[in-house]
C-alpha cells in the first residue's frame, strides 16, 4: 500500500487522466458526478478530482517525509547526547522536549503554521518543530538502557571515544525502535498535515492537498457527495498503511517489545 502511494506520487503526471487539471479550470464541467470520463467526479472548478488526488499524494508524501526526516535528524542526536551524558545539559534537553510533548502536537502546529503563514514549507516546519521530541524521548530512554549493556561498557572500558560509542555501538542497536517509531509517526504526521490543510493552514488554493480539498467540498454537500470521498479514502488508506506497516515492523524487528495487542 505504501509502495503504491510512492509509485502514485512519482508517476502522478503519467497516471493522471487530466494532468493539467491541478491548475486549469473547466467551468462547463463543474461538479460532475463520478463517471467514465471522471472516475471520482469533478470539483467546483470543473477539474478532475482523480487527477488532483494523485498530485495531492505528492504533497502529502513531501510534507510527511521531510517533516519526519527533520524530526529524526533533530531528535535522535539530542536523545543520544542526553542519554549518554548525565549532567544538567541532558536534563535541560529532556525538559525542553517534555514541554513540547505537554501540548497535543496539532495545537502547537496550528500556532506555528498560523504565525508563519499558509504554505507547504511552513507546514513542514510546524510539524518538524512539534514532532522531534518523540524521537528525542525514545532515543534517550533506549540509550540509557543500552549504556548498561555489556558491549557498551566493554567499548568504553577499551577507551572508545564518546562519539564512537554513540554512533558505532549504541545507535545500531536502537535503530529498530527508531525505524518502528518513524513508520508509525508517518501516519500521525499525515493526519495532522491533512487537518492543518483542512483548517486552511496548509498550502493555499489551488493546491490539490487532500485536507484542503475536503474543506472545499463542504459548500457543495449533500449534492456533490463524491467531492470529499476520494481524498478522505486516500488519507485513510495511507495512514492505515503506515500504522499496519509499523505494527508489522515491530513484530519483526523488535520481538522484545512485542505486544499482545498485535498477536
Question: Which residues contact other proteins (rule: CB under 8 A)?
Answer: 95-96, 98-100, 102-108, 110-112, 114-117, 187, 191, 194-195, 198-201, 211, 214-215, 217-218, 221-222, 225, 228, 231-232, 235-237, 239-240, 243-244, 259-261, 263
Nearer of residues 112 and 170 to other proteins, judged by Cβ: 112
End-to-end CA distance of the chain: 21
Closest by CA to 228, choosing from 238, 213, 239, is: 213
Q: What is the dihedral of CA 220, 225, 227, 231, to 10 degrees?
A: 130
Nearer of residues 15 and 96 to other proteins, judged by Cβ: 96
Closest by CA to 136, choosing from 111, 101, 187, 88, is: 101
Q: Least CB distance from residue 202 to other proteins, whole Å?
A: 12
Nearer of residues 174 and 239 to other proteins, judged by Cβ: 239
Nearer of residues 171 and 214 to other proteins, judged by Cβ: 214
Q: Least CB distance from residue 236 to other proteins, whole Å?
A: 5
Sequence-ordered list of residues with C-beta below 8 angstroms from that of 250, at least 6 positions apart, any chain: 180, 257, 258, 259, 262
Tell me the DSSP string of 45-100: TS-BHHHHHHHHHHHHHHHHHHHHHHHHHHHHHHHHHHHH--SHHHHHHHHHHHHH
Q: Least CB distance from residue 183 to other proteins, whole Å?
A: 13
Nearer of residues 148 and 260 to other proteins, judged by Cβ: 260
Backbone angles phi, psi at 30, to 5 degrees: -65, 135
User: Residue 262, SS3?
Assistant: helix
Q: Least CB distance from residue 68 to other proteins, whole Å?
A: 17
Backbone angles phi, psi at 87, to 5 degrees: -145, -170
Q: Least CB distance from residue 133 to other proteins, whole Å?
A: 12
Nearer of residues 31 and 160 to other proteins, judged by Cβ: 31
Closest by CA to 16, choosing from 50, 45, 40, is: 50
Q: Least CB distance from residue 44 to other proteins, whole Å?
A: 15
| Angle (deg, nearest 10), helices 49-84 and 88-101 | 150
Amino acid at each position: 500500500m505504501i509502495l503504491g502511494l510512492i509509485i502514485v506520487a512519482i508517476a502522478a503526471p503519467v497516471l493522471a487522466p487530466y494532468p493539467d487539471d491541478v491548475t486549469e479550470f473547466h467551468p462547463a464541467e463543474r461538479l460532475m458526478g463520478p463517471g467514465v470520463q471522471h472516475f471520482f467526479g469533478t470539483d467546483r472548478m470543473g477539474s478532475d478530482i482523480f487527477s488532483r488526488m494523485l498530485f495531492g499524494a505528492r504533497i502529502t508524501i513531501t510534507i510527511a517525509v521531510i517533516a519526519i526526516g527533520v524530526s529524526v535528524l533533530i531528535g535522535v542526536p539530542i536523545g543520544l547526547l542526553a542519554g549518554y551524558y548525565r549532567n544538567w545539559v541532558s536534563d535541560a534537553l529532556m525538559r525542553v522536549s517534555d514541554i513540547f510533548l505537554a501540548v497535543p502536537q496539532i495545537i502547537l502546529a496550528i500556532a506555528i503554521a498560523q504565525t508563519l503563514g499558509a504554505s507547504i514549507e511552513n507546514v513542514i516546519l510546524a510539524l518538524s518543530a512539534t514532532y522531534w521530541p518523540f524521537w528525542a524521548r525514545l532515543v534517550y530512554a533506549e540509550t540509557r538502557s543500552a549504556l548498561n549493556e555489556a558491549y557498551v561498557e566493554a567499548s568504553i572500558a577499551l577507551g572508545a571515544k564518546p562519539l564512537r560509542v554513540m554512533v558505532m555501538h549504541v545507535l545500531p542497536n536502537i535503530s529498530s525502535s527508531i525505524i518502528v517509531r518513524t513508520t508509525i509517526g508517518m501516519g500521525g504526521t499525515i493526519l495532522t498535515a491533512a487537518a492543518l490543510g483542512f483548517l486552511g493552514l496548509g498550502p493555499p488554493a489551488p493546491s490539490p492537498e487532500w485536507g484542503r480539498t475536503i474543506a472545499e467540498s463542504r459548500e457543495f454537500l449533500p449534492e456533490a457527495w463524491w467531492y470529499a470521498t476520494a481524498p478522505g479514502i486516500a488519507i485513510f488508506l495511507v495512514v492505515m498503511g503506515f500504522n499496519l506497516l509499523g505494527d508489522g515492523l515491530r513484530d519483526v524487528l523488535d520481538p522484545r517489545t512485542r505486544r499482545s495487542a498485535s498477536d
